Amino acid sequence: MNFDLNFAIQNLWMAFSGIPTTLLITFVAAVIGIPLAFFIALARIRKVPLLDQFLTLYLSFMRGTPTIVQIYLVYNGIPIIIKMIV
């Protein structure tokens, strides 16, 4: 296996074509996440009963598990939840 610079340059453009997807995921997550974070912070500052305890648990889970596991959980979990509701 050798390092082929030409191959890298040729395929750089193909890699660039993924940038819109990256930006889309980032910006949509930020646009939804930041207002949500604002309300979560508000609920925790005001110490809203029940909601505060739930959010503490939720935040600890979100900060304690790898993003890749969260992606798997959401990707496989949401269809199951939808199936249960429908």
Partner 1 sequence: MEFFLTTVLKLIPFLRVTILIAFTSMVLGLIFGTLLAAMKLCHIRALKTIANLFTTFIRCTPVIVLIFLSYYGLPVLFGLAGIDINGVSKIVFSIIALTMYASGTLSEIIRPAYLSVDKGQMEAALMSALTPAQAMRLIILPQVVYVALPNFGNMLIALIQESSLAYLIGVVDVMGQAKIIDNMSYGAHIIEVYFAVSLLYWLLSLVTGKCVDLLSGKMGKVLG
Q: Name the site residues for partner 1 (rule: CB under 8 A).
A: 1-3, 60-61, 63-70, 72-73, 76-77, 80
Which of 44, 65, 64, 67 has its CA nearest to residue 54?
44
Residue labelled with tokens 């750089």: 12
If the CB atoms of residues 53 and 60 are measured against partner 1, the closer one turns out to be 60
> CB 38 → partner 1: shortest distance, Å?
22
Rounded to an integer, what distance in angstroms lies between the CA atom of residue 30 and that of residue 21? 14
- CB 50, min distance to partner 1, A: 21
Cβ proximity to partner 1: between 10 and 60 the closer is 60
CA-CA distance, 79 to 86, in Å (whole number)?
A: 10
